[in-house]
């Protein structure tokens, strides 16, 4: 089966590599046929690349070639990936992607175009890199009402937090190390401020509950405010800080979805996820907690998930997958700050007595070198709005949500 | 869509319950249609059951009803489940099952019958209860050469080992507790001696590498020889003992597959799997390690996986899933004892000097109350046959494999 790859960056070149190095296993999975690379679309020149005869700068070469049945989109970003993908799908060509930004923004439109073209739009690689999560969410958990999802969805921030937790490294030093190792971009904003995790939350929420959730509906907070002091207090109660994407089912018409640092207690499957690894925990009413763990990014892990989607398209060329992903609604994602109750970790310049007066029942934490005018504590369950009201006259240093995963 | 359930034990009654309590989410997943229970096949009487009008003792009622499109087989055992399933598949009715014994023994024949009947035979619930693992293995990891699989596949034994590790409980007391909690059968042999895990290894190996592996090809050892002394020695090097099913790729024509207790070091995703939970770790050459975690047994978790398969059948009524599961071969599963090198934990009545003379390089372990004539140590990598030869004159108390997962 003839295929094309759009975008020859990290993931795109990885896709080409996996197709070439895995001919046997791919042919076995498809039932004898192989994936034959016909085009690589990229505006840049790669004169020394062994595939130089495959390169094109003209998208129409792919669109107008009737032999091309499956296309991997690894361009990233919304434009021109959106335009290209729409045209391919409407022309009946299957498209697979690792482009979480595009799926989060335009997933519904693209799935509709796939329906129109009687073909498939698959995006296993868009969340959790090589970890199988899209199919399990869409298919395997169909006998459950999903109650919640919590995921460590960004490898870069998890690497930074791991260094802070295990090696007492400052945020800045850990970020620099992540950049030196190639885990973080020169401009690390998308990772560090939670935007990348936010896109993945949108995709997971849309799949789990069948209505499109858009990035601007998801309250998003990054890890740049996390200090070693917070890490130290929380480790004293056998907890760690993770950047979590969380989704909570409220009722048929409402969910909560947010990205933020969160306290996870040791013993949770999420607590032992270290370095650049990702994990996604899904809580179903029948199955209980299931958790999916692996490398959430990286050239070959991500590429292997893209290729698996291509294999699936090649195996099922005129059979469509139905995701049940419908229109979103403005009020569908609630303001979690006024609705979801949870415990909070608070660090503040206060006395224990002041804290007791305001909160009655809290658990105080301690750390080495704790200044006499600093307290840290974990509250009972309450909404974030209620917490902020209680703390309105206090000099707060940090607040972190505490999860029940 | 009209459906039938065969076998009204724990799983079968759970399937009926999940179908009834999850009408909305099921209809949403299928695209409007619901699963309508028409028959329950069981030889026993359930006079007070609310579904008493659905019961039949005659399998032909199901086979001959042209409206029945999907059947859940939750009878367990090979006979008569095999005969019934063959007839249903050949008649073009989709069958889904949690019956690992049947899939492990007869999976290939049943998949062929499904092909003949142009229908599906699905068995997500046969391994890992509610944990999605069959689809991820068959589909999502298609861009990988799978190098190995290691799984905690039996909840009962993991519960017993957890109690031994965390509460210093003896094997006998922990087994009794598992029985009292309903985790272990009155006759616990199938769990404790590893037969249940062995069946799941067969299914995973058949899926991962495309050739049927039969239970009699898998060397199987249970946990009844594990003592608190072993637990204690191994905890001194930050390890735990787990009952693991392991599969290792050797080459196109050979794999190793075995079930045995194994030392897993803390930090591994398998080490933190406690109580009745299961986890399956798959190592792919592109994706690295991915791990799937959740409840591996229990009424509702298992039933929810059966129902998800029914939903899949209902959604794709005339589209077949291709598993690429072919004939097995006698020499395909090698004698791991002569081929696979790994470190071993050894406890013996020897002196450290005797050990040093035989092994040169080992790591000695210690425990509280260690008798002066007892040693425990971890060897370098070697085959089990080589180890046994070295130890032929020693008074060995226990030997446990050490994993690299």
Residue pLDDT, tens place only, B123-170: 999 999 999 999 898 888 889 999 999 999 999 999 999 999 999 999
Catalytic residues of B: 200
Tens digit of each residue's pLDDT (9 = 90 or more) over B308-350: 999 999 987 777 777 878 998 889 999 999 999 999 999 999 9
Query: Which candidate from B28, B290, B315 shows the least CB-CB separation from A293?
Result: B290
Question: What pLDDT sits at residue B234?
Answer: 98
Residue A51's pLDDT is what? 95
Instruction: Determine whether the interchain pair B300/A308 forms a contact, defined as Cβ–Cβ distance below 8 Å.
Output: no
Q: Report residue B26 as tokens.
A: 């099921």
Judge: A18–B131 Cβ closer than 8 Å, yes or no.
Answer: no
Residues in B touching A131 (Cβ below 8 Å): 287, 290
How far apart, in whole angstroms, are the C-alpha atoms of residue B249 and residue B257? Answer: 9
Q: Please report residues of A whose CB lies closer than 8 A to that of B298.
A: 288
**How far lies B282's CA from each of A79, A135, B205, B290, B364, in Å?**
36, 17, 11, 5, 31
The full DSSP string for A70-104 is EEEE---SSTTHHHHHHHHHHTT-EEEE--HHHHH
pTM of the model: 0.94
Which residue of A lies nearest to B16 if distances are taken between CA atoms? Answer: A143
Residue B359 C-alpha, separation from nearest chain A C-alpha, in angstroms:
35
In this prediction, residues B26-46 reach a mean pLDDT of 92
In B, which residues are within 8 Å of A141 by CB distance? 132, 304, 308
User: What's the whole-number mean pLDDT along residues B16-29?
Assistant: 93
Q: What is the distance between the alpha carbons of residues A293 and A174, in angstroms, rounded to a whole number? A: 23
Phi-psi region of B288 (alpha: psi -120 to 50; beta: other; left: phi over 0): left
Convert the pLDDT of each residue in B51-81 to its tens digit: 999 999 999 999 999 999 999 999 999 999 9
Distance of CA B18 to the CA centre of its chain: 23
- β-sheet bridge partners, residue A401: A262, A344
Q: How far is A25 from chain B (nearest CA, A)?
A: 7
Q: Which residues of A are catalytic?
A: 200
Kindly tell me if the per-residue pLDDT of B29 is higher than 90.
Answer: no
The per-residue pLDDT for A184 is 87
Assign residue A170 a region (left: φ > 0; alpha: ψ between -120 and 50; beta: otherwise). beta
Q: Is B286's CB within 8 Å of A145's CB?
A: no
Nearest to B124 among A140, A308, A315 (CB): A140
Q: Residue A144 and residue B22: Cβ atoms within 8 Å?
A: yes
The beta-carbon neighbor of A289 closest among B135, B294, B324 is B294
Q: Do B311 and A144 touch (CB under 8 A)?
A: no
B26, B210, B312 member nearest A139 (Cβ)? B312
What is the spatial distance between Cα B306 and Cα A144, in angstroms, rounded to a whole number?
Answer: 11
Calpha distance A340→B152 (Å, rounded): 35
Joined tokens for residue B321: 């899933």
Q: A274 contacts in B (CB within 8 Å)?
A: 267
**Which positions in chain B touch A210 (Cβ < 8 Å)?**
28
| Separation of alpha carbons B296 and B11, rounded Å | 13
Phi and psi at residue B164, in whole multiples of 5°? Answer: -65, -40
pLDDT at residue A319 in the model: 75
Residue A312 to residue B142, Cβ atoms within 8 A: yes
Query: Which parts of chain A sit beneath pLDDT 70?
Result: 318
Compute the nearest-CA separation of A150 from chain B (Å).
14
Q: Please report residues of A whose CB lies closer than 8 A to that of B132.
A: 132, 135-136, 139-141, 290
Q: CA–CA separation, A143 vs A336, rounded Å?
A: 27
pLDDT value of position A185 = 86
**A176 burial class (0-12, 13-18, 19+ CB within 10 angstroms)?**
middle
| Cross-chain residue pair A287–B305, CB shorter than 8 Å | yes
Contact B324 A136 (CB under 8 A): no
Per cent of chain B over pLDDT 70 is 100
């Amino acid at each position: 089966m003839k295929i094309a790859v759009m975008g020859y960056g990290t993931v795109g070149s990885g896709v080409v590599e996996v197709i070439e190095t895995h001919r046997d296993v791919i042919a076995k999975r498809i039932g004898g046929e192989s994936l034959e690379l016909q085009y690589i679309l990229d505006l840049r020149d790669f004169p020394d690349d062994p595939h130089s005869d495959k390169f094109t700068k003209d998208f129409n070469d792919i669109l107008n070639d009737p032999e091309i049945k499956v296309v991997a989109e690894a361009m990233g970003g919304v434009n021109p990936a959106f335009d290209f993908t729409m045209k391919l799908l409407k022309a009946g060509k299957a498209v697979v992607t690792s482009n979480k930004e595009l799926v989060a923004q335009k997933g519904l439109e693209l799935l509709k175009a796939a329906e129109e073209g009687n073909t498939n739009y698959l995006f296993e690689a868009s969340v959790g890199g090589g970890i199988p999560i899209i199919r399990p969410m869409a298919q395997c958990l169909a006998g459950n009402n999903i109650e919640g999802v919590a995921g460590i969805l960004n490898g870069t921030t998890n690497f930074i937090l791991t260094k802070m937790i295990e090696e007492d490294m400052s945020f800045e030093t850990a970020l620099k190390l992540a950049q030196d190792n190639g885990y973080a971009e020169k401009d690390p904003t998308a990772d560090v401020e939670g935007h990348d995790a936010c896109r993945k939350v949108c995709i997971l929420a849309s799949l789990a509950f069948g209505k499109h959730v858009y990035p601007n509906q998801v309250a998003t907070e990054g890890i740049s405010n996390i200090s070693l002091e917070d890490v130290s207090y929380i480790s004293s109660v056998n907890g760690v800080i993770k950047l979590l994407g969380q989704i909570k089912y409220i009722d048929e018409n409402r969910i909560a979805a947010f990205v933020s640092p969160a306290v996870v207690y040791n013993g949770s499957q999420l607590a032992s996820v270290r370095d650049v690894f990702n994990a996604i925990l899904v809580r179903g009413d029948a199955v209980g907690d299931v958790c999916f763990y692996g490398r959430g990014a990286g050239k070959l892990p991500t590429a292997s998930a893209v290729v698996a989607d291509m294999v699936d398209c090649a195996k099922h060329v005129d059979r469509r997958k139905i995701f049940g992903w419908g229109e979103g609604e403005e009020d569908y994602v609630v303001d979690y700050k006024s609705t979801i109750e949870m415990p909070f970790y608070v660090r503040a310049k206060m006395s224990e007595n002041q804290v007791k007066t305001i909160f009655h029942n809290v658990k105080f934490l301690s750390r080495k070198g704790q200044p006499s005018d600093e307290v840290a504590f974990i509250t009972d369950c309450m909404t974030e709005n209620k917490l902020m009201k209680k703390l309105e006259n206090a000099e707060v240093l940090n607040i972190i949500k505490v999860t029940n995963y």
